[in-house]
Structure 1
Amino acid sequence: MLDIGWTELLVIGVVALIVVGPKDLPVMFRTLGRFTAKVKGMAREFQRAMDDAADQSGVKDVAKDLKSATSPRQMGLDKLKDAADKFDKWEPGQPERTVGPETAKLSAERAEAARKIRESTAKAATDRQAAEAAKAEAAKAEADAPREMQASSAAPKDNPPKGDA
């Protein structure tokens, strides 16, 4: 409580023995013990009164609910129980749910729309690839053209031009 070690207690006892005297020392320690007991009792009573007030106002219940709601371990166990329940109810080979006629009609419409989207996406991808290939071919031809020009101009001319002679 006061964080006093044995050496400090011994020093306090020696000083008390010198100041109070050997006759009155037991009486003083008895009085000090009673005072300490009264202080501890008052602190316990105050703590109990605060706990009772908190219980009456519902703070303890709210704190308990909040603690259980935010507990990661409890949240994990709840999710695990949900998954286990779903697994217990699952029957392999059985359709998960039955589909009504309107839903089936919507499913057919959605399948058709998805097919159209896939076709248009594939066509766009093919067009893009063809455009990229044409662009690459044009860039290659453009890069090869200056080389051919340099090669033809750098070639030695063996035959002089024939003129009027």
Structure 2
Amino acid sequence: MPDIGWTELLVIGIVALIVVGPKDLPGLFRAFGRFTGKMRRMAREFSSAMNAAADSSGVKDIDKTIRAAANPAKSATDAVKNTAKSAMKPGGETERLSQERKEAAEKIRQNAARVAEQRMAREAAEAADSSEEPAGDTGETAPGTGPTKDSA
């Protein structure tokens, strides 16, 4: 694209004002704008058609191979970045591993809770058994379990 500064635009505007006249100048600018818009659209369509043709013929694969051979360090870092991006996608490897770890953690919590309940039940049973045992073999009753005044 030609490099046009403000002074060049001012000179072009003054010449156009003199040649075309102030009455027809807005129509001229409008037509010029439409023309440049059409040219840009055509250039964009041509560029996209060329890119599509290059994609279908495999030029991009060849280009990647050549660039990888020219700069192996950059191609290796690009491969690592692409792998990291694909792992972070929903449904990717990272999400699958995260779900497996959550499931494993939940199993561990459930087993720990079950073992704790069993231990507490066993300790409660042992405590109950130790309070029901007789005081000794001498025939004496445990303190507080002897005959009361009303039964004698």
TM-score class normalised by the smaller sequence: 0.3 to 0.5
Highest RCO, 1 vs 2 (Cα 8 Å, sep ≥ 6) = 2
* Structure-2-length-normalised TM-score: 0.47
* Structure-1-length-normalised TM-score: 0.44
